[in-house]
A and B are shown apart, each in its own frame.
Chain A
Amino acid sequence: MQLLLLCRETSWSDILCLGAERERDPVRNSVHAFLQMCNLPIKVVCRANAEYMSPSGKVPFIHVGNQVVSELGPIVQFVKAKGHSLSDGLDEVQKAEMKAYMELVNNMLLTAELYLQWCDEATVGEITHARYGSPYPWPLNHILAYQKQWEVKRKMKAIGWGKKTLDQVLEDVDQCCQALSQRLGTQLYFFNKQPTELDALVFGHLYTILTTQLTNDELSEKVKNYSNLLAFCRRIEQHYFEDRGKGRLS
């Protein structure tokens, strides 16, 4: 049975400029990497109304038979229930560590990406507004973009990031990358020989940061400081994407 991975389609001009939709969404990259690691046959489909088809309103989501599951956590559970699991070989302490590192990535990297996209005025003005509103006609594109920005700013304020400056956010990203780099060390994957969902998640985020063009390159520079993380991303891309005919420039 084939898995369909559905993601949001953006406008024609975006697809032409950047080559593929894949780079921009860290969650999509994580899910895609995870499914590749599980060796499941998947087909990626882009639809403009993907968000509305998704049960949680978030893309990407997978469609298998008559079931639809969105977001990385539930997808991992679903795939595990079907008998494919990457973390079965871990003991309890390792599983706790894996969950903790996944939360670290969600807490720091995801929030920093959101901050950069929606709270940094330069990036918002030049890139995010246009990109987010691109599938919609005027004036809906502006209205939806402002609404999303307001929502994100509210959330930042609630978790205490409202008063952070860009430099502080970049420092947090650096701290997070340092922690990931120290944890990875010289190993191939985070739990040595076999990749787990943590590897998929980290790959998704780092790959997005490295390949997405923003107004400043400071975020990707922070990641590039850690050579083992760069090598890790390249290795996963080569092994799980290029080998299966989906290669692209890294």
Chain B
Amino acid sequence: MAAPLELSCWGGGWGLPSVHSESLVVMAYAKFSGAPLKVNVIDNTWRGSRGDVPILTTEDNIVSQPAKILNFLRKQKYNADYELSAKQGADTLAYIALLEEKLLPAVLHTFWVESDNYFTVTKPWFASQIPFPLSLILPGRMSRGALNRILLTRGQPPLYHLREVEAQIYRDAKECLNLLSNRLGTSQFFFGNTPSTLDAYVFGFLAPLYKVRFPKIQLQEHLKQLSNLCRFCDDILSSYFRISLGAFSCVNRYQQQIDFGEVHSHDSTTRKLIASEWRHLSSWTRYGRCKSAETHTTCK
């Protein structure tokens, strides 16, 4: 399509192109369907919105929320579900509902509500991505939003205490992971040999849980026992978000951060991928300099 498609989303870390589940779902779908997305990572400038991220911008439209963005891409003929049968399309909707009802509350809890995880990992990471004083406000707001969502959807009586809600949501999440693992079996993707919308959603929800290093990791440990799901995430990362030594890398203060795609700062095109601080890490010593991003087109 002639009109450029720009996606605003949260940046990456721990080997992922984005740490935010919803942003990751959209990025994965774009790779699977061949949509040429220009990824604008949220950064320390005041340009762009942070509220409803991910946001897709074209010349005439602004679309938010993953489901709407994916619908929009499909209407623009970037359809990753082209080869699916009607029943498989129906199954996709059902499994996405399963992910949102059973897995999402526990993922939100792990990232935003569990205090050890939130204060040592999530909050510092998100705060580092945005300018002061927004960095003092936005992470707290996202955390309260997550807790609100969990309590309003799952905190019904007889689960009066947050502890009981937590126990229930982690039980549900583990069951959901088991169901996904049973469904995936030994296949490469959920429907045959080509990835589809469901693969994008599962990858988006599982990959941050799999890769981000948290102090409290009960759900992560459960996921790591399901080797086919881990293999699924690793395969997608290596095939579609290629982490090769020839790629570019930039490092922020907190951990090695690998940026994929053509990453533009809002304010200056000359500031491509030059972070203010970076460190040499042992695996990158051979390429111990920051290169400008190469345009990363789709891998198909």
Contacts and interface: CB of A to CB of B under 8 A. Distances in A.
A102 B65 CA distance: 23
B217 interface: no
Interface of B is mostly: helix
A179 B153 contact: no
A155 B87 contact: no
Could you say which of A93, A100, A159, A180 has the most chain B C-beta atoms within 10 Å of its C-beta? A100
Interface in A23-75: 55-58
Interface string B67-98: 00000000000000000001101110111011
Contacts, number: 76
Nearest to B91: A97
Contact of A100 (B97, B145, B152, B156): B97
B102 interface: yes
Contact of A56 (B87, B157, B183): B157
B179 interface: yes
Interface residues of B, number: 27
Nearest to B183: A96
Given A55-B158, A96-B183, A176 B93 contact: yes
Interface string A86-118: 000000110111011101101110000000000
Contacts of A154: 152
A76 to B, nearest CB: 14
Contacts of B183: 93, 96-97
B45 interface: no
A171 to B, nearest CB: 10
B101 A103 contact: yes
Contacts of A17: none
Interface string A134-160: 000000000000000000001100111
A155 B102 CA distance: 17
Contact of B100 (A58, A107, A183): A107
Contacts of A183: 87, 90-91, 94
Contacts of A185: 87
A194 interface: no
B182 A93 contact: yes
B157 A96 contact: no
B98 A99 contact: yes
Contacts of B93: 104, 175-176, 179
B86 to A, nearest CB: 4
B148 interface: yes
A56 B156 contact: yes
A228 interface: no
Contacts of B156: 56-58
A100 B65 CA distance: 22
B213 interface: no
Could you say which of A96, A108, A182 has the most chain B C-beta atoms within 10 Å of its C-beta? A96
Contacts of B145: 158
B149 A158 contact: yes
A3 B95 CA distance: 33
B153 A158 contact: yes
B253 to A, nearest CB: 33
A178 interface: yes
Interface in B143-188: 145, 148-149, 152-153, 156-158, 179-180, 182-183, 185
Could you say which of B90, B149, B179, B180 has the most chain A C-beta atoms within 10 Å of its C-beta? B90
B182 A107 contact: no
Contact of B182 (A96, A103, A160): A96
Contacts of B149: 158-159
A201 to B, nearest CB: 12
Contact of A179 (B65, B90, B101, B152): B90
A80 to B, nearest CB: 15
Could you say which of A57, A106, A179 has the most chain B C-beta atoms within 10 Å of its C-beta? A179
Contacts of A57: 156-158
B277 to A, nearest CB: 36
Can you list the 4 inter-chain pairs with the closest CB atoms, starting with the nearest? A179-B90, A100-B94, A104-B97, A96-B179
Interface of B: 65, 86-87, 89-91, 93-95, 97-98, 100-102, 145, 148-149, 152-153, 156-158, 179-180, 182-183, 185
Interface of A: 55-58, 92-93, 95-97, 99-101, 103-104, 106-108, 154-155, 158-160, 175-176, 178-180, 182-183, 185
